[in-house]
Amino acid sequence: MNADLKRERETGRRNFDVERLTHMLDGGSAEATRRRRQLQAMIERDPTGVFDNSDNMYLHRTERHVRALAKHVRLIELCRKVGIGSEPEANGDVVQSPDFPTLIHALADDLPTALHWVMFVPNIQSLCDEEQQSLLLPLCRDWRMIGCYAQTELGHGSNVRALETTATFLPERKGGMKGGSFVIHSPTITSAKFWPGTLGRTANHAMVIARLIDGDGVDRGIHNFLVPLRSMKDHTLLPGVTTGDIGPKIGYPVMDNGFAMFDKVVIPRRNMAMRFASVDSNGKYEKKAVSDAVSKIAYITMMQVRILECFYKAIVVRVRNELVPPLAKVLVTRELDQWLSLAIHSSFSLMIDHLFSFFGFFLGPRLYLQRSGKESGHCLYHCNPILGDSTPRIRRQWLQQERITDFGLQATTASALSITRCILLFLLYRQEGS
Ligand SMILES: Cc1cc2nc3c(=O)[nH]c(=O)nc-3n(C[C@H](O)[C@H](O)[C@H](O)COP(=O)(O)OP(=O)(O)OC[C@H]3O[C@@H](n4cnc5c(N)ncnc54)[C@H](O)[C@@H]3O)c2cc1C
C-alpha cells in the first residue's frame, strides 16, 4: 500500500469527520446511512447463501451467469417481500425504488439483467410516446419483457451513421400486419449487432438501432425499433433471429455481451419508438421535433451511459489526487521521468542519424565519384554493415544535390546540436533522479 495512505490510516490523522463524510456519501443524513446498513445486512445475511461471492473466481463463466441470474431472482423476491418498489415514486417497479442502487451496490457483483434497467427501460422512457410507454413499462416492471440495447454492429461502433441494419416499411396491402409493419434485416456480416450486454442469453427483446426506410423507399437515418428475440413464454429463439454470446472477455464475465443477425424479421409498425418521429399506416414519415439536437436523440441512450462512465472515472481521479497530494506528486514525477527517457532516446537516435550525415561529408565525395563512374575504387560504405544502412539516403542526397559544402555544414551543425541536446537532457534526468 502507498506509504502515505498507510500512515494516514494507522495514525488516524485526518482533517475531516469520517461519520459526516459517510452520511454525505450515503445521501446526506444519518437516517440514509442507517438504511444503507440495513439493506446491506439484508443481502449479507440472506439464508439462501446465493449472494456469497467467495467462490466467484473458481466458477466457469456459464456458472457465474447462471448464479447471477439466481441472484437477480432472489433480489426481486426479497424486495417484494419487504415492500421495496412500493414507494409512490417507484410505482410498483423495484428498479425505480430509491433503495435499488444501494442493493445493487451491496451485491458486489454484476447482474446479467443490468442493461434492462440501465439502457432498455430508459430508452423506452425517453424515446417512446405515452401510449407505447403505458403498454411496455408494465411488462418491463413485471420482468415479462427483459430487454437490451442493440446499437453497435460488427463493422460500426463509434461511427453510428454508418450502421447498416435496415427497418423497411411494409404496408398491410403487401403482406404487412394490420396498420403496417417493419422488416428488420441484417444485409451483411458487418451489420451483425455485436457487443450489446444482456443480448447473448438473457434478453427476450432488443431495442434495435436501424436505418428506417419509409413507405416511399427513402432512407430516413437511424431510429429505434423494438424487436422480439425470444419467446416471452419459454425463452425459445424466434424465427429469423440468430443470436448468442460473443464469448469470454478480459472483464465483466457475468454479462452475456452478444451478437444478433436478423433475417427479414417482421415487427408491428408501432414497435418503432415514436416520440420524436413516426411513420403512419401508409408509410409516411414525420419528424415531430425540428431542432437539430433531436437527430442525436436516436442514440442518446448509449451517449448517456458512456458520459456517466467517463464522469465517474474523472471524479475518482480528482478525489484521490485531492485527498492524497503526495501520491499526485509521485505520479507527476514518474510521468516526467518517462518523458525525459523518451526525449533522451529520440535525441540519441537523431544524434546517430546526424553523425552518419557528418561522416557522409567526408565519405561522400568518394562515393559520389564512384557512383558517377569517375572512380571505380573500393568504398567504405559497402563493407561496413552499420554505415551501409544509411547508404541509400546519403547517396540520394549526394546524387541529387551535389552541394557538397552546404551539406557538410548542415551535417556538422546538426550533429553538434544533437550532441549538446543529449548532454543537457541527461544532466536534467540525473538532477530529477537525485
Ligand atoms: C463491455 C462492453 C459493453 C458494451 N455494451 C454495449 C451495449 O449494451 N449496446 C451496444 O450497442 N454496444 C455496446 N458496446 C459496444 C461499444 O459501445 C462500442 O465498443 C463503442 O461504441 C466503440 O465502438 P468499437 O468498439 O467498434 O470501436 P471503434 O468505433 O472501431 O473505435 C476504435 C478506436 O478508434 C477510435 N476512434 C473511432 N472513431 C474515431 C474518430 N472519428 N476519431 C478519432 N478516433 C476514433 C476510438 O476512440 C477507439 O479507440 C459495448 C462494448 C463493451 C466493451
DSSP string over 30-50: HHHHHHHHHHHHHHHT-TT-T
Amino acid type, 169: F
For ligand 1, atom 47, name the residue with the nearest CA.
158
What grid cell was written down for 44? 449479507
Q: In CATH, which of 3.40.140.10, 2.40.110.10, 3.10.20.30, 1.10.645.10 is domain 112-323?
A: 2.40.110.10
CA 398 to chain centre: 52
- d(CA 159, ligand 1 centre) in Å: 9
- d(CA 122, ligand 1 centre) in Å: 20
How far apart (Å, rounded) are the C-alpha atoms in residues 398 and 365? 8
What grid cell was written down for 383? 563493407
SS3 226: strand
Closest CA to 205 of 223, 226, 188, 180: 226
Residue 154, sorted as left (phi over 0), alpha (psi -120 to 50) or beta, turns out to be: alpha
For ligand 1, atom 48, name the residue with the nearest CA.
158
Query: Which of ligand 1's atoms lies nearest the C-alpha of 251?
Result: 1
Query: Which of ligand 1's atoms lies nearest the C-alpha of 159?
Result: 29
Strand duo 265-268 + 277-279: pairing: unpaired
Tell me if 110 sits within 8 A of 255, measured CB to CB: yes
SS3 148: strand
Partners of 245 in beta bridges = 258
Give the model's pLDDT for residue 122: 93
- Residue linked to cell 525525459: 340
For ligand 1, atom 52, name the residue with the nearest CA.
195
Phi, psi of 384 (to 5 degrees): -110, 110
Query: Which of ligand 1's atoms lies nearest the C-alpha of 152?
Result: 11
Q: In CATH, which of 2.30.30, 1.10.540, 1.10.3470, 1.20.58 is domain 9-111?
A: 1.10.540
Q: Within 142-225, where are the H helices?
A: none
How far apart (Å, rounded) are the C-alpha atoms in residues 177 and 172? 5
Give the model's pLDDT for residue 374: 45
Q: What is the pLDDT along the chain (434 residues), one digit of tens a residue?
A: 778 777 777 776 667 788 888 999 898 899 999 999 999 999 999 999 999 999 999 999 999 999 999 999 999 999 999 999 999 989 899 999 999 999 999 999 999 999 999 999 999 999 999 999 999 999 999 999 999 999 999 999 989 999 999 999 999 999 999 999 999 999 999 999 999 999 999 999 999 999 999 999 999 999 999 999 999 999 999 999 999 999 999 999 999 999 999 999 999 999 999 999 999 999 999 988 656 666 666 777 787 777 777 777 777 776 666 666 555 455 555 555 666 666 666 666 666 666 666 665 555 555 555 545 444 333 333 333 333 334 555 555 544 544 445 556 666 677 777 777 777 777 766 665 55
How far apart (Å, rounded) are the C-alpha atoms in residues 24 and 18? 10
Give the model's pLDDT for residue 249: 92
Instruction: Kindly state the helix (H) or strand (E) to which residue 391 belongs, with its residue range.
Output: helix 385-401
Tell me if 321 sits within 8 A of 328, measured CB to CB: yes
Query: Which of ligand 1's atoms lies nearest the C-alpha of 197?
Result: 8
For ligand 1, atom 6, name the residue with the nearest CA.
196
For ligand 1, atom 44, name the residue with the nearest CA.
158
How far apart (Å, rounded) are the C-alpha atoms in residues 271 and 304? 23
